[in-house]
Amino acid sequence: VSPDSQWSNYKLAADTFLPKVAIPQENIHRIPTEHSDFLTSVHCYEQTIR
């Protein structure tokens, strides 16, 4: 689902939990789910967190 969907785990965390914890924004990484192939998402996320 898209990151702004009501069904998005990321949106739920970003709206409720993440604003209340002392984690720098640059240390928060969303798994990209907009790719049609999950392996592409996996590789993009891997490159992001390296």
What pLDDT score does 1 carry? 85
What pLDDT score does 39 carry? 96
CA–CA dist 41, 34 (Å, integer): 8
CA–CA dist 16, 11 (Å, integer): 8
At 18, list the tokens: 């993440």
Per-residue pLDDT reduced to its tens digit, 18-32? 999 999 999 999 999
Query: Where are the domains positioned within the chain?
Result: 9-49
Whole-model pTM over 0.85: no
